[in-house]
Structure 1
């Protein structure tokens, strides 16, 4: 991990956080399985810090079949009870059941739109939004767009995806580039956005 690069201050000096910042956050995603992973992790994060979830990510991948939405959609009460004893994940029944529910809803959107990515990226006309924030203070927790997407997901039966969680999801998956202008990844993600297609 490089230490001399100027990064967004939120990742601090934690190696795992910096690696996530450097290689994932803000890079536009169109792979459905990875999008489902971020949906699941962001909904699990609600009320907790993101670094807590990152540190449990490998455990989540194991517990939730590498976030294969078909496999997760088949989880029943037996799997829920097993997951509630798994110390490697957030043992919250409502969040676990929401993830299983969301897998069903995710598959429905795949079926109706051809892919979840197509559904998702239609909200920004297929192109990542490029913000130009100079300080963390100007980065919002929600936007009118995250409100709209959250409402649409809820209308379709998704759970634990309020506007704040949805905006964090949008940032993570590159729907918006919220790297600060001073951060070396801002231009990297802008370049990825120029080449991005769904």
Structure 2
């Protein structure tokens, strides 16, 4: 997985912020703070938890031009059938969860709106994409967070791109829309192809 991730200079329009990919083997453990519990797969995908994975590797990237300030690109491999099951769990959770809540690092419960992104992803074998939005008030400063989470399956592996944008709540709705993370079809296709090739090498 790590070898298939792009290195600095190999991803048009983006800079790779890691000197080397970060990796884990075996599945991750969910924090189980999500309510309703059926929505847990959505928060896991956003936060980079892949419970049924065999191995995971990820990098942080940033666009060379105006874009959300933080993006994470993750490759995950699965045992036979588990990659499809992972996408199915996201799809099922999206059907049941127009909203959810989770605990942040301070122990506060955060309420989140969830919306399926219906734009078709022209990459890989199957895909699921959704947007999450929540508002925080920290010492009187209100901010809106918009996360776009897209997972594409290629064979028995997935690519997950999480684009995170935080803007001040005082901005008008029109200006906030300019900061909404959007699907990058070229990025998704390039990385899905790389992931597919890695599985056949």
Q: TM-score range by the shorter chain?
A: under 0.3
Larger helix percent: 1
Q: Which has the higher contact order (CA 8 A, sep 6+)?
A: 1
TM-score by length of 2: 0.26
